[in-house]
Copies of this chain bind each other. A is one copy, B any other.
Amino acid sequence: MNRQKLLKASIREVTFGINVTLVEPCNLYECEIGDDVFIGPFVEIQKGVIVGNRTRIQSHCFICEKVAIGEDCFVGHGVTFINDAFRDSKVSVNPIDWESTTIGNSVIIGSNATLLPVTIAAGVVVGAGAVVTKDLLAPGVYVGNPARLLQKK
């Protein structure tokens, strides 16, 4: 019988601010978590991710390399970030091809939203289940698949 390489979800080489709460099992590695952050169960946060002070990451989220999330954000349950936009219909295994996502301060992202590599301005609200395919730079509420402006602020 073939032997498998069996890894375990864990917390390793993470830089934490003060007063952080986490619920295991979660898989966090080589990322930077600010002060007063909450991270729910069944969450994965990859290398190089930055999570700002007082931001809350709810259960079942996946946050990939090249994502930076601001302060005072709410990231709902099951929110999934993406850094490989499958340019030319290909998956890239080379990080140099991956694209970054920047989330401003006080952004609210509804549960089960999916975010391609984008920039989201401070204060934007992304509705639950939205699929964000473009930058969201104007304040407002964005919903749907693909996400469109529902309401200006």
Contacts and interface: CB of A to CB of B under 8 A. Distances in A.
A59 B44 contact: yes
A6 B27 contact: no
A27 B23 contact: yes
Contact of A2 (B4, B17, B22, B129): B17
Interface in A18-61: 18-25, 27, 40-42, 44, 58-60
A2 B110 CA distance: 30
A111 interface: yes
A7 B82 CA distance: 27
A101 interface: no
A64 to B, nearest CB: 8
Contacts of A5: 19-22
Nearest to A56: B91
Contacts of A6: 11, 22, 24
A46 to B, nearest CB: 10
A128 B110 contact: no
B21 A4 contact: yes
Given A5-B21, A6-B22, A80-B128, 13 more contacts: A4-B11, A5-B19, A5-B22, A7-B23, A25-B25, A25-B42, A58-B62, A76-B82, A77-B80, A80-B111, A116-B128, A129-B145, A145-B145
Those 4 A-B pairs whose CB atoms lie nearest each other, nearest first? A129-B131, A114-B129, A112-B114, A5-B21
